[in-house]
Amino acid sequence: MTTADIPLPDDAAGDDGAVESANIGDLVHKRLIKAHFTFAVVFLLTSMTAGFLVSLNFLNHYPFPDVPWLSSGRLRFLHTNEIAYGFLVNAFVGAMYYAVPRMTGRPVASLKLGWFIFFVWQIIVFSASVGQALGFAQGVEWGETPTGFRPGSFDLQYIPVDLLVAVGALLVAFQFLMPLAKAFNKRLYVTGWYLTSGLIWLILTYVMGNVLPEWGMPGASGAATAGLFIHDLVGLFVTPMGWGLMYFFVPIILRTPMWSHALSVIGFWALAFFYPLNGVHHFLLSSIPMSVQYGAVISTMAVEIVVTTVVVNFFATMWGQGHALRSNLPIRWFYTGMVFYFITCLQCAFHTSLTMQAIIHFTDWVPGHAHLVMLGVFAFWNFGIITWLWPRLTGNEWHSRRLNHWHYWLTLIGLVIMFVDLLAAGVIHGNMLRDLVPWMVIVEAMKPYWGVRTFAGGMILIGQILWAYNLWKTARTPKPYDYRVDLVAQEVN
């Protein structure tokens, strides 16, 4: 298959978001996208502030030790949940309001439904955080959103957030599956595959993870299900959304088709098959039957093959246009994220081996890995998408392009410092555990690493604050935006 045969996303051929010649731009509800992006950034800031505060606790300098609803144990729920459900979901949904109508040439189900989903979703995220602050968190990692029921019973004690999330996910799926399903009759671009599946998988995953471990399965089997939930949430929702949007935005910005359409479809199906099988690798060397654990380890290694096909495809697409990394900030966010994606998956393939698990499980290695995935990959991609779309949505030129570069470098350097620091801490912690070093000696040995982690987190947080300020000033300051500034000049053969 040559590149000439490859269908492009509808608007990749030339028109651009800011200057609409075709009617297709009318399908995009810009105010709705702006609203979603705004709350994505708000939750990004609150989540990172919470993360930064929790890191201070590890240095015994926590500012609110005696305020129950601000205690560091409860703020940790907010840190992870607001990033997943507040930032990522808002950013993905906003980006889909741009990508899906333009790709399929059809409007989303309903604009009114869109605003309804928008308000309901912010209420969900807000009430989840408030519920966690009040002590109604659920004991499932990444699914700490309150069930609303007294544990072990069906007495309602708080807003049933889990139920609302499931309904919200259903509505989001309905909203976007209307145009996507109609486009099925045409040849559906791979982005359509990723988004369609991701939306359906999210509903299944969320219901499975929030219902079964709480009401169905005790002990080891509950842990297996919880592990499956954690992995499916990342692998079957966040990853398909992320890659789906990359397949949409990268060809548009680079103004070139994907290198290989066949490879992108292989990548999709290998993801669909192998990713969910990894679930149990979150609880290795546990009392879950070993046959299940071995299966999870092997399929985790298989995922690395998937990852390689996808990453190769994107880097081959970029071939000959390396200058875009320098001249085009969104492209730089995207490709930095892809490098991190490759690193993080390669890391997975190794550290899920039982040999490495013996050392690094239960240590800071794992948060290091998690930050690279959630921040380094998926947040980076959303930073790129929002950075690319913001002037097109507001119609205003950036308040300061330099601040955007500060955002990139502070986040990147902060993240790399944090990642290396936590990895080192994890290896040392794991070895000290194995060597039966007294507990408090281990804690003391970890404190310098936790200090570096706080410093790195501070860098990242400052980067986001600068970016949020820049987004705000850009939206408020009328200054006509000329999209040609951001076109990547090129000679497509």
Partner 1 sequence: MDRIQSILSVAGVGCFALAFVLSAVYPWAITSGTVTEATIAEVAERITPEFVDLAERYPAEFDRAHPGVREALTPQSVLADLGGSGDREAGLAAWREAHAKSLRRGRDIYVAEGCWHCHSQYVRPVSNEDIRFGPVSTWLQDNNALQRPVMWGTRRVGPDLTYEGGLRSNDWHAAHFWEPRNVSPGSVMPRFRWFFEEGFRLSRTIDPSIAERTGLAPETEYPIAGVYLTQADAEAARQRHIDALPSALRAEGERLNVTPARTLNSDGLSLIAYLQWLGTWQPTATSQED
Residues 442-461 that bind partner 1 (CB under 8 A): 443-444, 447, 450
Instruction: For residue 233, state whether it binds partner 1 (rule: CB under 8 A).
Output: no
Q: Tokens representing 110? A: 């309903």
Amino acid letter for position 451: G
Comparison of 357 and 470: residue with beta carbon closer to partner 1: 357
Comparison of 293 and 336: residue with beta carbon closer to partner 1: 293
Taking alpha carbons only, the member of 160, 245, 163 closest to residue 199 is: 245
Give backbone dihedrals phi and psi of 29, rounded to 5 degrees, phi first. Answer: -90, 95
Distance CA 264, CA 273 (A): 14
Encoded one letter per residue, x for contact with partner 1 by CB under 8 A and - for no contact, window 248-277 reads ---------------------x--xx--xx
Give backbone dihedrals phi and psi of 149, rounded to 5 degrees, phi first. Answer: -100, 150
Instruction: For residue 182, state whether it binds partner 1 (rule: CB under 8 A).
Output: no
Instruction: For residue 480, state whether it binds partner 1 (rule: CB under 8 A).
Output: no
Instruction: For residue 180, state whether it binds partner 1 (rule: CB under 8 A).
Output: no
Minimum gap (Å) between residue 186 Cβ and partner 1 = 9
Instruction: For residue 232, state whether it binds partner 1 (rule: CB under 8 A).
Output: yes
- 220, 325, 343, 349: which one binds partner 1 (CB under 8 A): 220
Comparison of 123 and 188: residue with beta carbon closer to partner 1: 188
Return left, alpha or beta for 396; rule: phi > 0 is left, psi -120 to 50 is alpha, else beta: beta
Instruction: For residue 246, state whether it binds partner 1 (rule: CB under 8 A).
Output: no
- 430, 454, 459, 464: which one binds partner 1 (CB under 8 A): 430
Instruction: For residue 217, state whether it binds partner 1 (rule: CB under 8 A).
Output: yes
Instruction: For residue 433, state whether it binds partner 1 (rule: CB under 8 A).
Output: yes
Distance CA 306, CA 419 (A): 24
Instruction: For residue 199, state whether it binds partner 1 (rule: CB under 8 A).
Output: no
- 17, 168, 227, 330: which one binds partner 1 (CB under 8 A): 227
Comparison of 364 and 486: residue with beta carbon closer to partner 1: 364
Minimum gap (Å) between residue 20 Cβ and partner 1 = 30
- CA-CA distances (angstroms) from residue 212 to 208, 220, 232, 334? 6, 12, 14, 36
Minimum gap (Å) between residue 206 Cβ and partner 1 = 12
Distance CA 263, CA 260 (A): 5
Instruction: For residue 63, state whether it binds partner 1 (rule: CB under 8 A).
Output: no
Comparison of 186 and 323: residue with beta carbon closer to partner 1: 186
Subset of residues 275 to 304 that bind partner 1, contact rule: CB under 8 A: 276-277, 279-280, 283, 285-289, 292, 295-296
Encoded one letter per residue, x for contact with partner 1 by CB under 8 A and - for no contact, window 135-174 reads xxxxxxx--------xxx----------------------
- 362, 402, 477, 478: which one binds partner 1 (CB under 8 A): 362
Comparison of 80 and 90: residue with beta carbon closer to partner 1: 80
Q: Which residues pair with 480 in a beta bridge?
A: 396
Distance CA 313, CA 307 (A): 10
Return left, alpha or beta for 103; rule: phi > 0 is left, psi -120 to 50 is alpha, else beta: alpha
Question: CA-based angle 35:125:226, to the nearest 5?
Answer: 130
In the block, tokens 């889990």 appear at 162
Minimum gap (Å) between residue 299 Cβ and partner 1 = 9
- 367, 395, 451, 458: which one binds partner 1 (CB under 8 A): 367
Instruction: For residue 5, state whether it binds partner 1 (rule: CB under 8 A).
Output: no
Minimum gap (Å) between residue 13 Cβ and partner 1 = 22
Q: How many chain residues are in contact with partner 1, going by CB under 8 A? A: 90
- Asked if 297 and 281 count as a contact pair (C-beta separation under 8 A), the reply is yes
Minimum gap (Å) between residue 350 Cβ and partner 1 = 17
Distance CA 44, CA 474 (A): 18
Burial per residue of 230-260, b for 16 or more beta-carbon CB atoms within 10 angstroms, e otherwise: bbbbbbbbbbbbbbbbbbbbbbbbbbbbbbb
Subset of residues 95 to 124 that bind partner 1, contact rule: CB under 8 A: none
- CA-CA distances (angstroms) from residue 262 to 5, 115, 391, 392, 422? 11, 37, 34, 32, 38
Instruction: For residue 463, state whether it binds partner 1 (rule: CB under 8 A).
Output: no
- 218, 326, 480, 493: which one binds partner 1 (CB under 8 A): 218
Distance CA 319, CA 484 (A): 22
Instruction: For residue 489, state whether it binds partner 1 (rule: CB under 8 A).
Output: no
Comparison of 165 and 224: residue with beta carbon closer to partner 1: 224
Stretch that binds partner 1, among 18-26, 211-219, 241-249, 413-421 (CB under 8 A): 211-219
Q: What is the DSSP string of 174-221?
A: HHHHHHHHHHTTSPPPHHHHHHHHHHHHHHHHHHHHHHIIIII--HHH
Stretch that binds partner 1, among 45-53, 219-227, 250-258, 403-411 (CB under 8 A): 219-227
Subset of residues 70 to 89 that bind partner 1, contact rule: CB under 8 A: 71-74, 76-77
Distance CA 265, CA 444 (A): 50
Distance CA 373, CA 344 (A): 6
Amino acid letter for position 2: T
